[in-house]
Amino acid sequence: MNARTFITLFLCTALTMLQSCKSGQSNDIVAENFNFAAQQLQYAIDLTTEAISKDTRDSARRASRPLVSPRTLEKDGSLKVVTAHDWTSGFFPGELWFMYEMTNDPAWEERARKFTEPLQVLRYHTGTHDLGFMMYNSFGNGLRLTGDQEYREILLDAARSLATRYKPGAKIIRSWDHNGDKWQCPVIIDNMMNLELLFWAFRESNDSTFYQIAVNHANSTIKNHFRPDYGTYHVVDYDTITGEVLNRHTHQGYAHESTWSRGEAWALYGFTLMYRETGDQLYLDQANHIADFIFSHPRLPDDLIPYWDFDAPEIPDEPRDVSAAAIIASALYELSGYNVEDAGLYRQWADTILENLTSSYRAAPGADGGFLLLHSTGAKSLNSEIDVPLVYADYYFLEALLRKSKIEHNQPLF
């Protein structure tokens, strides 16, 4: 009996025994975390507003690229606030939209609009692949919850800007423009997350170009980003004319042949949304295989919060990556709606992650910069953001909690 079969049988028994009390416990964990988030996010707003008012950059820089939202804590414990052009800028307004979704309190809508508005300068920005993170998590959630048609137009412009990065010869969307001495046309596994904006634009505009770009990129990713065991490469470098793979590297993981945990999380989430948007069994199979890789991996800790890289050399004395765990949990709740056979198992894994994040990885109330979760790792390989709170961990934590609540109340996720 392999590990996954054993876990499945064990959890099926456990789920039956726990069914009578599960609902009350689930409601408690969602409500309690959103109550906690309400306090923390208000504190974060206060700290961010103060940091913006004390911005010491020169006046021209402040005017051209003002600070807009928090990203993490600096090494001295101060809040790191970033401009709209930082790839993480859309997560904090997204969290505020989630608060509005959960509470229906107009005060949260007002706060969300305030922190979303500065990002509209990105609508014509073609210098990044991260417009999905930046714009769909902010304006996209706002449109979904309010129907604001101005947000719709901004998002369509952003989708058109993202589409300019498509390379038809290689059938991929270019990720970075930096490190030209190392890569000709790098594509990172993270880029799967930005396809959601293109699918939305296809539905809104009926322009099939958006759909085809997203599908082509996903198919190229399946072909070139995965090893036989469904572990992922972080960076694949392409010849833009022929589509030939020039290199398979890492940038934020431990080694070229290691599996960076957050990259694997992006892959799980990305191919789950690909199935949602296309109904193609290829993508559902891929998502299931990725889930199998994660949860059958011998170096996944018992609490299901991954180390920053599955192959990091000093495990168990390596930093965790809470952001990867939150992304995985959110993806699993959605994936459970598509894979009937493993639905209970996927939800139990996601529930376990949320329970452990809540009990062992949460920030102190009224402290830690107003972040919700501690112990994320941005890029240990670059000596950057090691064992810190990260705004995107908090975003996917709240999204996972919302999805859990919707499933348990028989509400649609979308």
Out of 130, 309, 321, 394, the active site residue is 130
Whether residue 93 lies inside any domain: the answer is yes
Nearest CA-CA partner of 248 in 225, 270, 273: 225
Domain that holds residue 139: 25-408
Whether residue 238 lies inside any domain: the answer is yes
8 A C-beta contact, residue 198 and residue 163: yes
- What is the amino acid identity at position 54? K
Whether residue 36 lies inside any domain: the answer is yes
Whether residue 7 lies inside any domain: the answer is no
Whether residue 125 lies inside any domain: the answer is yes
pLDDT score at 312? 98
Residue-level pLDDT, tens digit, the chain, 414 residues: 344 444 443 444 344 334 434 444 556 999 999 999 999 999 999 999 999 999 999 999 999 999 999 999 999 999 999 999 999 999 999 999 999 999 999 999 999 999 999 999 999 999 999 999 999 999 999 999 999 999 999 999 999 999 999 999 999 999 999 878 899 999 999 999 999 999 999 999 999 999 999 999 999 999 999 999 999 999 999 999 999 999 999 999 999 999 999 999 999 999 999 999 999 999 999 999 999 999 999 999 999 999 999 999 999 999 999 999 999 999 999 999 999 999 999 999 999 999 999 999 999 999 999 999 999 999 999 999 999 999 999 999 999 999 999 999 999 999
3 state SS for 333-382 = HHHCCCCCCCHHHHHHHHHHHHHHHHHHCECCCCCHHHCCECCEEEEHHH
DSSP characters over 186-217: EEEGGGGGGHHHHHHHHHHH--HHHHHHHHHH
Per-residue DSSP letter, 84: T
Task: Please give the distance of CA 120 from its chain centroid, rounded to a whole number.
Answer: 21
| Residue linked to tokens 């004390």 | 54
CATH number at residue 341: 1.50.10.10
46 is catalytic: no
Structure tokens at 246: 């020039």
In the chain, the number of structural domains is 1
Element (H, E) at 111: helix 106-116
Whether residue 151 lies inside any domain: the answer is yes
8 A C-beta contact, residue 93 and residue 119: yes
Helix axes 3-53 and 391-408, enclosed angle (nearest 10):
120
pLDDT score at 7? 47
Whether residue 8 lies inside any domain: the answer is no
Out of 86, 157, 190, 309, the active site residue is 190
Whether residue 165 lies inside any domain: the answer is yes
- At residue 65, the 3 state secondary structure works out as coil
Burial profile 155-187: b = 16 or more Cβ within 10 angstroms, e = fewer: bbbbbbbbbebbbeebbbbbbbeeeeeebebbb
Question: Distance between CA 92 and CA 141 in Å, rounded?
Answer: 12
130 is catalytic: yes
- Segments of 51-157 assigned E as strands: 67-73, 79-83
- What is the amino acid identity at position 66? P
